[in-house]
């Protein structure tokens, strides 16, 4: 082998060794860069407490929290907006209520409630021991200053522009803050699976009808918002056989009796009969008016019927 061949071999060996060294340096650099990125992207294991949809308090890594955009369906969107240009109101004539329970039955049927689940509670009232007792239907008062809306942490209960207060059970977490805040005890909690769970399975949720119902959430009177959208009177108003309920639009100053279908001036009805709000001193500004039980067209059933009512026998 001559000198020229030795020089060529030496150069080849040099470049081969240089390539190995360079490759090692590059691999090491890549490893260092990868390690740096890993350190920078390591999760911050600070934990925060979160209330889950099934009402459980859990801890999750802070860096794992992601904002969830609520998918508002058409039914929920229009349900939250309400009916523009209206201010719905209700008048209950206490001189006519006989506790026929037809209003309660119609409400329970429409909203898929059990016989012991009420959106309308019928109370037995008596001003003094020497005055006769009377029946008093008590639904949600749909207040214009509703304390239930103020305390809801997830905007599940809300006030619409047309005066109706509703609950969105797609958002309700069952915390029951609204139940505690309501001075009228107008809300109930679903402790059990819905009575028509199988029948309602797969149906789109309608916030104006509150169907399908859902265990672990709140329900209450909805002022039959689904019927109002169709230009009809509420379920309870239409079902009453004793002319107890008037329903209408305060903006138009008129209400219609659900039994006789007679339409009268709201302002005149309240003025002539001494209409009032329930517990108006609380400042909740209810949308439900009551007419006092004067000139009643029936006699109260008496102690025996009263006891039967209290035991749920009527």
pLDDT at 78: 86
Structure tokens at 207: 């916030």
Q: Residue ranges of the domains in the chain?
A: 72-306
Q: With 50 as the cut, is the pLDDT of residue 109 above it? A: yes
Mean pLDDT of the chain: 84
Q: What is the 3-state secondary structure (H, E, C) of the chain?
A: CCHHHHHHHHHHHHHHHHHHHHHHHHHHHHHHHHHHHHHHHCCCCCEEEEECCCCCEEEEEHHHCCCCCCCCCHHHHHHHHCCCCCCEEEEEECCCCCCCCHHHHHHHHHHCCCCCCCCCEEEEECCCCCCCCEEEEECCCCCCCCHHHHHCCCCCEEECCCCCEEECCCCCCCCCHHHHHCCCCCCEECCCCCCCHHHHCCCCCECCCCECCCCCCEECCCCCHHHHHCCCCCHHHHHCCCCCEEEEEHHHCEEEECCCCCEEEHHHHHHHHCCECCCHHHCCCCCEEEECCCCCCCCCCCHHHHHHHHCCCC
Q: Give the whole-number percent of the chain exceeding pLDDT 70.
A: 77
For tokens 């294991």, the residue is 45
Q: How far is CA 281 from CA 94, 254, 278, in A?
A: 20, 25, 9
pLDDT at 49: 79
The model's pLDDT over 230-247, given as tens digits with 9 standing for 90+, comes to 999 999 999 999 999 999
Per-residue pLDDT, averaged over 68-91, amounts to 82
Q: What angle do CA 103, 287, 310 make, to 5 degrees?
A: 40
Which region among 4-13, 70-79, 188-197 has the lowest average model confidence (pLDDT)?
A: 4-13
pLDDT at 152: 97
How would residue 296 be classed by pLDDT, with cut points 50, 70 and 90? confident
The CA distance from 236 to 105, in Å, is 8
The CA distance from 270 to 260, in Å, is 18
Q: Record the pTM.
A: 0.73
CATH among 3.40.50.300, 3.20.20.70, 3.40.50.1100, 3.30.70.20 for 72-306: 3.30.70.20
Comparison of pLDDT for 287 and 303, the residue scoring more: 287
The model's pLDDT over 40-75, given as tens digits with 9 standing for 90+, comes to 555 556 888 776 756 577 888 888 777 765 555 677
């Amino acid at each position: 082998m001559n000198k020229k061949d030795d020089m060529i071999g030496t150069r080849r060996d040099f470049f081969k060794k240089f390539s190995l060294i360079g490759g090692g340096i590059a691999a090491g650099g890549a490893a260092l860069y990868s390690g740096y990125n890993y350190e920078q992207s390591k999760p911050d294991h600070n934990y925060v407490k979160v209330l889950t949809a099934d009402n459980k308090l859990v801890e999750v890594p802070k860096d794992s929290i992601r904002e969830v955009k609520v998918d508002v369906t058409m039914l929920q969107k229009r349900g939250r907006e309400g009916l523009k240009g209206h201010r719905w109101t209700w008048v209950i004539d206490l001189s006519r209520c006989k506790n026929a329970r037809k209003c309660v039955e119609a409400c329970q049927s429409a909203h898929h409630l059990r016989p012991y689940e009420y959106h309308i509670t019928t109370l037995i009232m008596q001003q003094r021991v020497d005055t006769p007792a009377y029946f008093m239907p008590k639904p949600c008062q749909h207040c214009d200053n509703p304390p239930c809306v103020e305390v809801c942490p997830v905007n599940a209960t809300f006030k619409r522009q047309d005066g109706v207060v509703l609950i969105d059970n797609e958002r309700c977490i069952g915390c029951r803050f609204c139940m505690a805040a309501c001075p009228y005890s107008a809300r109930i909690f679903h402790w059990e699976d819905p009575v028509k769970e199988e029948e309602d399975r797969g149906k789109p949720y309608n916030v104006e009808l509150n169907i399908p119902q859902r265990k672990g959430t709140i329900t209450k009177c909805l002022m039959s918002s689904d019927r109002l959208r169709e230009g009809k009177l509420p379920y309870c108003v239409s079902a009453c056989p004793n002319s107890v309920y008037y329903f209408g639009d305060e903006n138009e100053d008129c209400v219609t009796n659900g039994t006789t279908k007679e339409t009268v001036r709201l302002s005149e009805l309240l003025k002539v009969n001494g209409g009032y709000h329930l517990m108006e001193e609380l400042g909740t500004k209810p949308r439900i008016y009551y007419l006092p039980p004067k000139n009643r067209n029936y006699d109260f059933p008496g102690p025996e019927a009263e006891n039967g009512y209290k035991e749920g026998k009527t």
